[in-house]
Amino acid sequence: MQRARRHRTYFWLMAVCLGLIVLAWNVVRLWSTTAAVLMSVVAAVIPPVAAIVGNSGALADSDLPRSRPSRPTRFEEDPDR
């Protein structure tokens, strides 16, 4: 359930980002360049936030083993060294 919610939130954040860029570059710039630039700046901040939201808790949901098998050190492999 949590994984689906994260993916849905990521999708909506990226959709808002694309919408802001399209509106800023095609519509708002005709009336106010400053507003278009501000919209672009906000749109530039959204993808890193979306990536953090989309990946939060990803290790808890994955099928990775909880503990790594112990690997022998190089001294255990060859004690004559």
Span 17-50, pLDDT tens digits:
999 999 999 999 999 999 999 999 999 999 999 9
**Residue owning tokens 């399209």:** 22
CA distances from 46 to 15, 26, 38, 53 (A): 10, 19, 13, 10
Taking the complete model, does pTM exceed 0.75, yes or no?
no
- What pLDDT does 78 receive? 58
